[in-house]
Amino acid sequence: MTKSHPSTSRPSTPTAEPGEPGCAGGLTVLDPPGRPAPADTADDTAAPSAAVQDRLAGRLSEITSLHEHTERLARARGLAATLDAVLASGAALLGASRGVLVTLLPGGGPGQPVGLGLDRASLGALETVPTEQSLLARLLREQDRPEQLHSRDLADDPAVGGRLRELAVHLGLGGAYGLPLATAEDGPLAAAVWFYDRPAEPTGCQRELARHYCEIAAPLLAKQLEAERVRRTTEALRRGLLPDHLPLTPGLRLAARLVPAGLDRSSGSDWYDAIPLPDGTVGLTVGSVSGDGPGAGPGSAPGAAAAMGRVRAALRAYAVLEGEDPVSVLGDLELLLKTTEPSRSATAVYTWVEPEERRITMAGAGHCPPVLVGRRGAEFVETSLSAPLGMLACWEAPGVEFTAERGDTLLLYTEGLARRCGPTLHAGQANLRRAAADAPRDVRIDPDRLCAHLLAVCPFPDTAPATDDLTLLAARFE
């Protein structure tokens, strides 16, 4: 396998080696206009002119192709789309058919591979190549990183390790060409290797185009990787504000789902909780804290997430003190919001459950009506109409009390789920109730499967990114 070392200078535009097919080559220097051609070449002026025209047309085609692929890269949204674009465009510029790309993890070492024309089993097989034989690992080095790696025939290249040669035969890989994606500020970010289905290697022009493309892609990839790291960190912190497990209570099976909207798009933050109380009863709650005051838009979610953590912690304390009186619990939460979070509001439902007697008492504050799923279908549990907490001078609403039957499942959910179930809030609530009623029996009797089922079948088709969290808490009475 040939290893190319960085050169002292590099052409600013794609160049070709003489005689390579498909390359524009260098430009021929013509005599200035008006100077007579030498007598022995005067009859051949048409031929050089045609050759120059061909070279110019070829160069224009290369520049156009590079521009089209960089435009596609610029339109990619999110890290996954960016990685797919790099792989596909690199393959097109090199004339390759397959490829694999890995990003460098923050702690060092390659991450999960992304493939083009390679299935999961093939990618898994390539991951078994020892680090010292891996082309990708070499391209990710901090020091002594090659500018490029290429092999005309992996299966017959003595510079390639035995495991890689074996996989080349097994997977039908011929030639290979690899490039690092790196910047001077960030160092190595990712590495990509493209494969041919037969022994082959790219032309000089193809190599230069691919290198230029990767130089353009690297800074964009650096931004996407940084954004992904920030997103993962904030989402981990956000999930850390929610319960890491639900309590095991005799007579009651619990399950929950939370699908958070991106913090860059959302203006609020949802919670769910199941609170075991000292007398053996359980407090169930879901709710949502708004952003930074009236008119708060996307970008205010980080502050709302922090406030949500404080509100949920306070609600747990109030539940222990006044658990069997949901109206008092929400009333105390209202006072807390006005005192410590005056620019915010919250919707919430709090339910006190006595599992053995299947007795339920609940109160809601500007929240979607819960759904009770039973043998005869599903119906709304209508809590009285009331304003969200923090909206009025004095919040007040009566509680609702009823007894569930054995086998019933109570669904508590936030507005984000209802809005994703239909074009309007009212239609979404109706669709959610219908989806719960129509769920197969073996799904209805398992709260975890019921949550998964509702998230799978209910969301209303919508190409816009979600701006609300989707939260669902299910409690089945055994």
Question: Per residue in 353-372, pLDDT tens?
Answer: 999 999 999 999 888 899 99
> In this predicted structure, what is the pLDDT of residue 52?
77
Pick the CATH number of 48-234 from 3.10.20.30, 2.40.30.10, 3.30.450.40, 3.30.70.20: 3.30.450.40
Average pLDDT over residues 140-156: 92
Q: How far apart are CA 2 and CA 175, in angstroms?
A: 12
- Within 10 angstroms of residue 332's Cβ, the number of other Cβ atoms is 18
* Residue 100 φ/ψ, nearest 5 degrees: -145, 140
**pTM (2 d.p.):** 0.63
**pLDDT at res. 464:** 52
Q: Which of 9-23, 42-56, 124-138 has the lowest mean pLDDT?
A: 9-23
Please name the amino acid found at residue 478.
E
What would you report as the CA-atom Rg of the chain, rounded to the nearest whole angstrom? 32
Give me the residue spans of the domains in the chain.
Answer: 48-234, 243-477
- For 425-456, what is each residue's pLDDT tens digit? 899 999 999 999 999 999 999 999 999 999 99
| Run of H or E residues at 280 | none
Q: What residues pair up with 475 in beta bridges, in sequence order?
A: 254, 410
Pick the CATH number of 243-477 from 1.25.40.10, 3.30.450.40, 3.40.50.720, 3.60.40.10: 3.60.40.10
Confidence of residue 31 (pLDDT cuts 50, 70, 90): very low
pLDDT digits (tens, 9 = 90+) for 9-25: 333 333 334 334 445 43
Are 100 and 115 within 8 A, CB to CB? yes
In tens, the pLDDT along 110-119 reads 888 999 999 9
Average pLDDT score over the chain: 83
Q: How far is CA 316 from CA 21, 127, 217, 284, 399, in A?
A: 73, 47, 49, 10, 18
pLDDT at position 51 is 77
C-alpha–C-alpha distance, residues 209 and 296, integer Å: 46
CA–CA distance from 108 to each of 148, 181, 368, 397 (Å)? 20, 15, 46, 56
What per-residue string of b and e applies to 288-315 under the rule 16 or more CB within 10 Å gives b?
A: bbbbbeeebeeebbbbbbebbbebbebb
* pLDDT for the residue 300: 58
Cβ–Cβ < 8 Å for 436, 410: no
470-477 sheet: strands from edge to edge:
252-259, 470-477, 409-413, 371-374, 377-380
H or E stretch at 34: none
Question: What per-residue confidence (pLDDT) applies to 30?
Answer: 27
